[in-house]
A and B are shown apart, each in its own frame.
Chain A
Amino acid sequence: MTVSTTPATSRAISVEINGDTVEREVPASRLLVHFLRDDLDLTGTHVGCDTGSCGACTVLVDGLAVKSCSILAVQADGASVRTVEGLASDDGELTALQQSFKDCHALQCGYCTPGMLMSATALLERNPHPSEADVKLALQGNICRCTGYWNIIEAVVAVGQGGAA
């Protein structure tokens, strides 16, 4: 029986991450999520599955919500990536969405939260006043095992209505 292993090739990439340009040599097999977490220490982006099913790893790639476990770091070459660390301002001022998550008790363990925030951020950027149905649809790729989603949905809808309900 022969088992093939990942070829040990690597490539230089340049990615804009949360406004800063990062240039690195990465193994061809490295997932974007591991590039962010292990190489850049941006550990806010999480991993919750191995089948692209849970959304804990969601980041914005050129403004689109993308599961960073489902693309390779080399595929992000030349792209602009935004992670949860890029939401609040440098002086710690939270976005309206982050604040709404706090106000609505939309997180418990907080493991799904970064992915939820990024999916919802992408939604609010294209639809600033989403309905409840819009929110549910936009979050269908994000699993939360703690909250049952009710408060998360409420938090996102509230942002579109100008504040926490």
Chain B
Amino acid sequence: MTAVETEAGTRQHGAAMGVSVPRKEDNRLVQGQGVFFDDIKRHGMGYLHFVRSPYAHARIGGIDLTAALELPGVLGTLTGDEVALLTDPFFQIAAPPGGHVRDYALAVGKVRYIGEAVVAVVADTRERARDAAELVMVDYEPLAVVVDAREALRESAPVLHEECGGNLSYSDVWEWGDVDAAFAEADHVVSIAELHFDRFNSTPHECSGALVEYNRGTAQWTVYTNNQFPGFAAIMMGPALRAGLDKLRLVTQDIGGGFGNKITTHPQLVVCCLLARKLKRAIQWTEWRTDFHQSMSHGNERWFQDTEVAVKADGTLLGFRTKAIDDAGAFLRYEPLGGVIWSQVAGGLYRWRNLRLEFTQAMTNKAPVSPNRGYSRMQQLWFTERVIDIVAQQLGFDPVEIRKLNYVQPEEMPYETPNGCVYDSGDYPRMLDLALELIGYETIEERRAEAAARGKLLGLGIGSTLDSGTNNFGQSQLVNPALQFSGNNEVATVKLDIFGEVVVTLGTTPQGQGHETTAAQVVADSIGCDVDMVNVRVGHDSYWNSHAGFSGTYASQFAVTGLGAVKGAADLLAGEMRQLAAMVFHCSPGDIELGGGFARIIGNPDAALPFMALGAIVNANNAGFLEDPPTLNCRFVYRPQFDVPDLERKFGNLTLTYATQIHACVVEIDRETGVTEVVDYAAVEDCGVRINPRIVEGQVMGATAHAIGAALWETFAYDEDGNLLTPNFYDYHVPHALDMPPLRTGALESPSPFTPLGTKGMGEGGGGGIHCICAAIQDALRVVGAPVVTDSHNPYHRVWELIRHPERSRQSVEVRSR
């Protein structure tokens, strides 16, 4: 049974907004008529294949290309030495020591993880490119390897980037409130030796890639790609290629999932650009699945050590202190932004005001990390949820009651957190009640007994998360004060064409989120027409004048930035349409109303102009006006109101909106094997106003599935030599249809007071499933020695260990009471 029940929305919207209208994208996609980058072909294009490092750490000796180049059909190659001559190292977000990293599009001098691209080979067919890559001979001189971030920080560890003087990329202390006073006031101090958040990512179904053309006459590249943050890619690629951004045209169309993992493809895109220029032909690169797993965008693995929690006798949480060690992998492709982004949700949903977190990030001989659905906040939210459940377990509090006691309360909204973030709206206790109702909390003890009779251990867990959206890029200055980024922006254009076509262009790069549909809903209501009349161009094209520096689709923001821009442009257009109709009818724009595809004089249905007439007048029939008519072609840049954070206090509003998720699940564990089955699941989402509830629910479902996978099956496990043990879907077990538990979803709508439509960005989901499954496992194992769940990833063998040796994890937790 997988029935899904959705609570009805709580707000009235316009005719199209708030309604689950059918998606505009679907007709082409169900017929196989989507255009993904790999579907694009050019005459004479060359297929690129990367030769990748089989060593996790090695010096590169000679590279012998002879045999590869002799293979018929091979068109050319590119090596790291050429890259070092032709490009500059990528700009580093990090301040020193991480800022000293010299990162090129191909390995230069040294390889630092298995799967790192060393040589690129181009041939006339995919098969030949791959065969030729096998013929490239590279001499490696292996070096000592470090794969554990904790060890990487030791004096004696092998160093990845000598220029950094060690493996430390970034370190700082983040502290707010009066932490010492909180611990002095506490009745109980709970200490937890070590918690570990595992390494995985969202593995979008389509791998990365591009088709790149070079125009020698204008020295311009056109990059058809599935990169999901073209604004960022351009900023990385332009300086590296020593080219202005006008020389880089980035185009996206249909994208087969992204989840953040397609943000940092700039090194591969630069290789394609160089080869398109060198070989004078279009270059086609499609990443292989194994290449993706070995080299692309892993999620941040993180340790939390020496955690202490200050608790009052009644269960009030006063604060915590902890030391986080983050594993960035071999390069800092988007790091150390992970070192600040967690602080958007520093305390999770709770009211504790005294927080201290020492954040240290290390580089290791593993694939570089990059944004991954829930980027860096998920780790922190998992930490806060784990802390709550461990405190509850140790001190005998009910996990529901301790949450309700400590949640930020609805009457406190908007709530300023200790570090200056503002939770815009929400009712966390009510969401929890709804989740518990959906999961059948009332009958859980009966179910527990019934499962026990079958020899199963049954447990219930809760995961409370925030999906913070619409970044203030000013937070990057918290990790590197020299950076010149702040605020955020997105652009849209809306125009009325000759035959009355309403045409919308976006700067965003949807990967399944239905932007064409929701943008059309907003435009339809703003200018008074049917959703079907609105044509939204597919994807992003930096030649369209509808993009800005932060354009893209990432960090849960489309419903705010993308639709904010769309709404702004549509309102401008509506104003111009009224103005034009008023010019035609010789009345004032205030006398004109728009509706049903017409502009008409209010109260005079006969004085009506169809949209087609308005479009035709401006575009093709514009003589005789005494004053200039409007253009009916409107561009709007949405810019949320942000200040640069206070760098001294690490204080400021880092993100505009906070969608909230409360997830609850029931698991059954086989005592003999440790196999955990999720048998019931409820997900409640509050993302403010929902433009299209069905699309919102789809995002909730997807985030839930990712979290279930990460909690139980998905891991990027490395051996001590730096071999990735899960380099493809054969070993890396993503959930299949058979794995999915029954799901019930619920929704509340607490409109954001800060956004044009009351919406909040959503879709990342904060990893609620990881947190609630950890909690449910801990709950289920109460009766077998009450072990403590200290890892985010709990495959059967780890659960079996917990059952077998409950004292081991219990020893890592201590309570001091006064």
Report if A and B associate in a common complex. yes
> Could you say which of B26-34, B153-161, B311-319 contacts chain A?
B26-34
Contact B289 A98 (CB under 8 A): no
Known: A53-B729, A143-B729. A102 touches B27 (CB 8 A): yes
> Smallest CB-CB separation from B514: which chain A residue?
A108
Contact A88 B31 (CB under 8 A): yes
Contact B730 A102 (CB under 8 A): no
> Smallest CB-CB separation from B125: which chain A residue?
A27
Q: In whole angstroms, what is the CA distance A8 to B29 when docked?
A: 36
> Smallest CB-CB separation from A56: which chain B residue?
B205
Chain B residues within an 8 Å CB radius of A153: 2, 737, 740
Q: In whole angstroms, what is the CA distance A109 to B255 when docked?
A: 6
Chain B residues within an 8 Å CB radius of A22: none
Contact B127 A111 (CB under 8 A): no
Which residues of chain A from 7 to 29 have a CB within 8 Å of any chain B CB? 8, 27, 29
Residue of A29, A44, A145 near B204 (CB, 8 A) is: A145
Contact A140 B738 (CB under 8 A): yes
Known: A105-B695, A109-B511, A149-B705. A135 touches B737 (CB 8 A): yes
0 or 1 for each of A128-157: is its CB under 8 Å from B? (1 = yes): 000010011101101111111111111000
> Smallest CB-CB separation from A148: which chain B residue?
B705
Q: In whole angstroms, what is the CA distance A30 to B2 when docked?
A: 41
Known: A102-B26, A105-B694, A136-B737. A94 touches B290 (CB 8 A): no
B254 contacts partner chain A, Cβ-Cβ < 8 Å:
yes
Chain A residues within an 8 Å CB radius of B257: 108-109, 111, 145-146
Chain A residues within an 8 Å CB radius of B35: 43
Contact A3 B134 (CB under 8 A): yes
> Smallest CB-CB separation from B740: which chain A residue?
A149
Q: In whole angstroms, what is the CA distance A56 to B203 when docked?
A: 14
> Smallest CB-CB separation from B203: which chain A residue?
A145
B589 contacts partner chain A, Cβ-Cβ < 8 Å:
no
Contact A5 B728 (CB under 8 A): no
0 or 1 for each of B686-711: is its CB under 8 Å from A? (1 = yes): 00000000110111011011100000
Count of A-B contacts judged by CB separation below 8 Å: 200
- Nearest CB in chain A: distance from B685 CB, A: 14
Chain A residues within an 8 Å CB radius of B487: none
Chain B residues within an 8 Å CB radius of A30: 127
Known: A109-B255, A140-B737, A146-B512. A49 touches B39 (CB 8 A): no
Known: A114-B32, A148-B702, A153-B737. A49 touches B289 (CB 8 A): yes
Q: In whole angstroms, what is the CA distance A82 to B551 when docked?
A: 39
Contact B737 A152 (CB under 8 A): yes
Task: Give chain A's interface secondary structure class.
Answer: loop
Contact B31 A84 (CB under 8 A): yes
B202 contacts partner chain A, Cβ-Cβ < 8 Å:
yes
Contact B205 A51 (CB under 8 A): no
Residue of B289, B290, B729, B738 near A136 (CB, 8 A) is: B738
Known: A43-B32, A53-B729. A109 touches B131 (CB 8 A): no
A74 contacts partner chain B, Cβ-Cβ < 8 Å:
no
Chain A residues within an 8 Å CB radius of B127: 6, 27, 29-30, 34
Residue of A51, A92, A102, A112 near B23 (CB, 8 A) is: A102
Contact A107 B702 (CB under 8 A): no
B72 contacts partner chain A, Cβ-Cβ < 8 Å:
yes
Contact A5 B729 (CB under 8 A): no
Contact A108 B734 (CB under 8 A): no
Interface residues on B, range: 35 or more
Q: In whole angstroms, what is the CA distance A93 to B31 when docked?
A: 10
Q: In whole angstroms, what is the CA distance A150 to B36 when docked?
A: 25
Contact B31 A102 (CB under 8 A): no
Which residues of chain B from 242 to 260 have a CB within 8 Å of any chain A CB? 254-257, 259
- Nearest CB in chain B: distance from A129 CB, A: 17
Known: A108-B512, A153-B2. A137 touches B31 (CB 8 A): no
Known: A51-B730, A145-B203, A146-B512. A105 touches B738 (CB 8 A): no
Known: A6-B131, A105-B23, A153-B2. A48 touches B29 (CB 8 A): no
Contact A110 B698 (CB under 8 A): no
Residue in B22, B28, B29, B730 with the greatest tally of chain A CB atoms within 10 Å: B29
> Smallest CB-CB separation from B136: which chain A residue?
A3
Which residues of chain B from 19 to 54 have a CB within 8 Å of any chain A CB? 20, 22-23, 25-36, 38-39, 41
Given contacts A5-B135, A53-B730, 16 further A-B pairs with CB under 8 A are A3-B135, A6-B131, A30-B127, A37-B39, A46-B205, A48-B729, A50-B289, A51-B730, A83-B32, A102-B22, A105-B697, A108-B698, A110-B34, A114-B32, A137-B738, A140-B736
**Which residues of B are interface residues toward A (Cβ below 8 A)?**
1-2, 4, 20, 22-23, 25-36, 38-39, 41, 67, 71-72, 125-127, 131-132, 134-135, 137, 202-207, 254-257, 259, 286, 288-290, 511-514, 694-695, 697-699, 701-702, 704-706, 728-730, 734-738, 740, 743
Q: List 21 A-B contacts (CB under 8 A).
A: A27-B127, A38-B41, A47-B38, A50-B728, A54-B289, A54-B729, A98-B31, A108-B257, A108-B512, A108-B513, A109-B255, A111-B36, A111-B206, A139-B736, A140-B736, A144-B205, A145-B205, A148-B702, A148-B705, A149-B735, A151-B698
**Which residues of A are interface residues toward B (Cβ below 8 A)?**
1, 3, 5-6, 8, 27, 29-30, 34, 37-38, 41-54, 56, 83-85, 87-88, 92, 94, 98, 101-103, 105, 107-114, 117, 132, 135-137, 139-140, 142-154
User: Which 10 A-B residue pairings sit nearest by Cβ, starting from the closest?
Assistant: A44-B32, A110-B29, A111-B256, A108-B512, A148-B705, A109-B512, A84-B32, A53-B729, A43-B39, A148-B701
